[in-house]
Amino acid sequence: MLAPRSLAVALLLALGACGAPSPPSPPAPRSVTARVRFGARTPLAGGLSDTETWRPARYLDVIVRRPDGQERERAQTDAEGRATLHAATGDSVVLVTHVAHGGLEAWVTTDAEGSTPHEHVIAVGASDLEIDLPDAQPFAGALHLLDTIVHGLEAEQRWREVTMPPIFAHWGRGETTDWSYFLGEVPEGSGRYGLVLMGGEPGQQASTDTDEHDEGIVLHELGHFVMAGTSGDSSIGGRHPPGSLTEPGVAWEEGRATFFAVAALASSGLSTEARYRDTIGIVPTGSCRVDQDVESPAADNPRGPGVQESVTAILWDLADGDDPGVPAGARLPDRDHDGIALGAGGVMEAMEAQWAEEGSYPGLTSFLQFLLRTGRVERAALEAMLTRTGEPATVLDATWPTELALGADVEGQVDGLSDPAPSGGGPRPENGLDSVEAYRVPVDRPGTLEVRIRVEGSGTATDHTDVLVELRDRRAVLLRSVTTRAHEARLAVPVEEGTYVVYARSVEAGSRASYTLQASLQ
């Protein structure tokens, strides 16, 4: 006789042999088609539109995950937002804000390090997936932002056959509330770059500044990335309100980033207007921070090399038109028939060529002089174009930065204190046209570059005659700075052969001073 334990084992074996029911097999994967669209709002004069249009989520990463969390398959949507997947009922389809297509790569993240893309999860049922994501779901905003970046990268590919390095944007509705800006390389040395884009105040999309649908703003920040990667950077940075008179390097970089934005919108078919808008909120509670017709600047707007709107308008007029030498798909609409039509690609190529010249530190005036010197435009045609748009003659003939030979003295003045400022408007100590002077210093051998400044007055904050002196490299990277004390100041930096730029600046609190500056190489 079997012992009780042995008897139980025998019974179990017998039941198994008689075909006891086994666990059900998991559903077999089948072919599933997913179509993904997102709701997009249009920037209007009164804020973002209160209605949405549906757009395909192009080239988006799509992952199929099994119930145990393991990845079953990975695919990508096409230009119509469709992807064919193999999935089983009970699986999940995960949409990821990442695009890698045609050599370009872009993604939108929840963090400023570019590590974590946004995800949206949909359960797989018995039928194909028609995924429509309205703007009420923040993921739709991330998709619009991503698609806009891809359009901008595609425009640069069309114009110049240039594929930019990978770039991400940090954005979150109600999370990124500070400002929109280009981060640079993140992390340094990684070969990938980042943007931060505003997501508005928490729960206040209808009335605060959120940029996921402001395609011009997204492309403006992308423009900084493209310009920095292809044709340098001449800006000391800082705020630049519409219509302000700023240091010419700031005006150049901000104005050409806006040109890139409006040109990319037009050549991508996203806009038929030469207009740049930055909205706040949604109609009817919204408004427009910036509403700029780049082909017809406002009559009361200041003009010249220190005005970002002038830079944008001039670059647009240089590019727009129907020149047969410009491919049809790259032509920009031309309302005023200004007579010059280099195309967006032609303007971008000229920027790259100027930057490639040894020792260049570009701004609006030197760029126009480069076009003339290299025969890209004729002086009479350029003068006629500028006259039609009301630009001053100094746009063509001014020198910026001022040349400073080693061992020579130069006299100058900064004024970030007078109200109104000498050139107009309120004082702008940070980066105003009167507050900053720039000097280009060519260095023909390695050594120690020494900069000395002597100020008329005490050179201190007591009587507002203190002056900030900066030494920057050809990419406007700050190498060293010093503020005057007791009438004078000195800085010294080991340098290699190359071009350097010395800035004399009003301090942040505002100062007004005359000075003598000298640079020498030890």
Average of per-residue pLDDT values in the chain: 92
Tokens 């005036």 correspond to 365
| Highest mean pLDDT out of 25-39, 273-287, 311-325 | 273-287
Cβ-based neighbour number of residue 430 at 10 Å = 21
- Look up the CATH number of the domain holding residue 427: 2.60.120.380
Q: Is residue 288 in some structural domain?
A: yes
Is residue 341 domain-shared with residue 418, that is, in the same domain? no
Is residue 20 one of the residues assigned to a domain? Answer: no
Question: Confidence class of residue 14 from pLDDT cuts 50, 70 and 90?
Answer: very low
| Average pLDDT over every residue of 261-275 | 92
Residues 295 and 169 placed together within one structural domain of the fold? yes
Cβ atoms of 226 and 195 closer than 8 Å: no
Give yes or no: residues 258 and 165 share one domain: yes
Alpha-carbon gap, residue 256 to 231, rounded angstroms: 11
**Considering the domain boundaries, does residue 352 fall inside one?**
no
Residue 463 is predicted with a pLDDT of: 93
150 domain residue, yes or no: yes
What is the DSSP code (8-state) at residue 28?
Answer: P
Q: Is the pLDDT of residue 13 over 50?
A: no
DSSP assignment of 134-180: -TTSHHHHHHHHHHHHHHHHHHHHHHH---PPPEEEE--TTT--S--
Give the angle 218-221-227 at the CA atoms, nearest 5°. Answer: 135
CA dist 332 and 272 (Å) reads 9
121 and 262 assigned to the same domain: yes
Final residue in a domain of this structure, among 305, 323, 345: 345
Q: pLDDT band for position 378 (50/70/90)?
A: very high
Could you read off the pLDDT of 149-173 as tens digits, one per residue?
A: 999 999 999 999 989 999 999 999 9
pLDDT at residue 24, rounded to an integer? 67
**60 and 202 inside one domain:** yes
Q: The pTM is what?
A: 0.93
Q: Give the range among 12-26, 284-298, 385-399, 504-518 with minimum mean pLDDT.
A: 12-26
> What angle is formed at CA 298 by the lines to CA 297 and CA 299, rounded to 5 degrees?
110
Question: Do both 228 and 326 map to the same domain?
Answer: yes
449 and 336 fall within a common domain? no
Query: Is the sign of the CA dihedral 368, 314, 435, 413 positive or negative?
Result: positive
Residues 314 and 452 in one domain: no
Beta-strand ranges (E) seen in 236-358 are: 275-280, 287-293
Residue 29: band (very low, low, confident or very high) from pLDDT cuts 50, 70, 90: confident
Residue 503 lies in a domain: yes
The answer to whether 89 and 126 are in contact (CB under 8 A) is: yes
What is the CATH classification number for the domain harbouring 135?
3.10.170.10
Q: What is the pLDDT of residue 243?
A: 85
Q: Are residues 226 and 99 in the same domain?
A: yes
Residue whose token pair is 């999935």: 87
- Domain limits for position 277: 32-345
Average pLDDT estimate for 471-487: 95
Q: How confident is the model at residue 486 (pLDDT cuts 50, 70, 90)?
A: confident
Q: Where is the domain boundary, 345, 368, 389?
A: 345
Tally of structural domains, the chain: 2
Question: Residue 274 contacts by C-beta under 8 Å, 6 or more apart in sequence?
Answer: 262, 266, 293, 294, 295, 316, 320, 332, 333, 335
Is residue 348 over pLDDT 90? yes
Q: How far apart are CA 263 and CA 295, in angstroms?
A: 12
The pLDDT of residue 503 is 98
Give tens-digit pLDDT for 85-142: 999 999 999 999 999 999 999 999 999 999 999 999 999 987 889 999 999 999 999 9
- pLDDT tens-digit series, residues 120-135: 999 998 788 999 999 9
> Does the structure show a pLDDT above 90 at 324?
no
Confirm whether 356 is domain-assigned. Answer: no
Cα–Cα distance, 379 to 340 (Å, whole number): 11
Would you say residue 317 lies in a domain?
A: yes
Position 467 confidence tier, pLDDT thresholds 50, 70, 90: very high
Does 448 lie in the same domain as 305?
no
Q: Which of 429, 484, 435, 491 is nearest to 460 (CA)?
A: 484
For β-strands 104-109 and 167-170, DSSP reports them as parallel
SS3 of 449-512: the string is: EEEEEEECCCCCCCCCCCEEEEEECCCCCEEEEEECECCEEEEEEEECCEEEEEEEEECCCCCE
Q: What angle, 0 to 180 degrees and rounded to 10, lies between the N-to-C axes of helices 308-319 and 379-388?
A: 130
Is 340 part of any domain? Answer: yes
Q: Which residue has the tokens 């025969």?
A: 375
Q: Verify that 407 and 297 share a domain, yes or no.
A: no
Label residue 474 by pLDDT band (50, 70, 90). Answer: very high
Q: Do residues 436 and 312 both lie within one domain?
A: no
